[in-house]
Amino acid sequence: MNPQYIELVKSTVPVLRENGVALTSYFYNRMLTNNPELKNTFNLDHQSTGRQPRALAAAVLAYAENIENPSVLAKAIEHISTKHVSLDIQPDQYSIVGENLLHSISEVLDVPMDSDLIAAWKEAYLQLAEILINSEKQKFDNLAAKQGGWSGWRSFDITAIESNENGKTFTIKATDGNDVVGADAGQYVSVKVKVPNHELQQPQQFKFADAQANNEFKFAVKAEENGTEFSVANILLENYNVGDTVQVTAPL
């Protein structure tokens, strides 16, 4: 990136940060209106709390601040790309996010889309997107190469549900009957369910309390007291039975 563009991007970070709420709410509203299929990718229960929208925009701003030295953000990149791979985020989705983010920056800063400022932000975003896409590709490849591993979503059947004092423990096995890679305690998978009364699916991560083996996974689900109708935990607890199918990504 040329020094003039770097300066332009860095000089607008404080204003964007100050207007963080406007930036993120404009961004998500615009994106989910123009690309409603992404409602199956983003957790709508998290959207309602505002936690996730802030995380994405904050990460872009943090990156822009350190644009001359992106290695500062190596830990964040590792964390974000792991989460993205667990949600099966694909390279082509970066252009959708990028376009909506640039329009939101243009709106919040009140500058035209064809200004130098937006051109500079576009370069910054593309640079960050490339770093994430490369990191994610490596992780997808590693998952697919493992014995019993896979990349993206795989269908699993619920084979047992046990109640406990905090909720229920679900046991699941791959619908295809083939091997399933093991997992360490503390690793997590994303589980995707159908939302009752909506043409929607929703993903959520569940962490394993114990190591997983024998071609099956066991994970505990606790009710979310303040969950909306999109709460994956509550949907699993209230609507899913033995024999039903969920979509699951490989443990990370």
* Residues catalogued as catalytic: 94, 136
Is residue 87 near ligand HEM by the rule CB under 6 A? yes
Q: Residues 8, 80, 124, 248: which binds ligand HEM (CB under 6 A)?
A: 80
Looking at beta carbons only, is 67 or 132 nearer to ligand HEM?
Answer: 132
Is residue 82 near ligand HEM by the rule CB under 6 A? no
The first and second tokens of residue 128, run together, are: 């960050």
In the window 40-79, what residues touch ligand HEM (CB under 6 A)? 41-43, 46, 52, 55-56, 59-60
Exposed, middle or buried: residue 194 (CB in 10 Å: 0-12, 13-18, 19+)?
middle
Is residue 183 near ligand HEM by the rule CB under 6 A? no
Looking at beta carbons only, is 43 or 249 nearer to ligand HEM?
Answer: 43
Q: Residues 171, 80, 147, 151: is their CA dihedral positive or negative?
A: positive
DSSP for residue 125: H
Closest to 170 measured CA to CA, from 157, 161, 182: 161
Is residue 128 near ligand HEM by the rule CB under 6 A? yes
Q: Cα–Cα–Cα angle for 40, 200, 223, nearest 5°? A: 90
Q: Residues 194, 40, 168, 173: is their CA dihedral positive or negative?
A: positive
Owner of token pair 């490339």: 130
Least distance CB 179 / ligand HEM (angstroms): 28
In sequence order, the 6+-apart residues with CB closer than 8 A to the CB of 75 are none
CA atoms within 13 A on the CB side of 68: 8
Q: Residues 73, 97, 246, 250: which binds ligand HEM (CB under 6 A)?
A: 97
E strands along the chain, which residues? 154-164, 167-174, 188-194, 201-207, 216-222, 245-248
Residue 172 has phi, psi (to 5 degrees) of -130, 150
Is residue 94 near ligand HEM by the rule CB under 6 A? yes
Looking at beta carbons only, is 118 or 129 nearer to ligand HEM?
Answer: 129
User: Which window, 92-100, 148-156, 184-192, 242-250, contacts ligand HEM (CB under 6 A)?
Assistant: 92-100
Looking at beta carbons only, is 94 or 180 nearer to ligand HEM?
Answer: 94
Is residue 38 near ligand HEM by the rule CB under 6 A? yes
Q: By Cβ distance, which residue is nearest to ligand HEM?
A: 43
Is residue 39 near ligand HEM by the rule CB under 6 A? no
Q: Which residues contact ligand HEM by CB under 6 A?
A: 38, 41-43, 46, 52, 55-56, 59-60, 80, 83-84, 87, 89, 93-94, 97, 128-129, 132
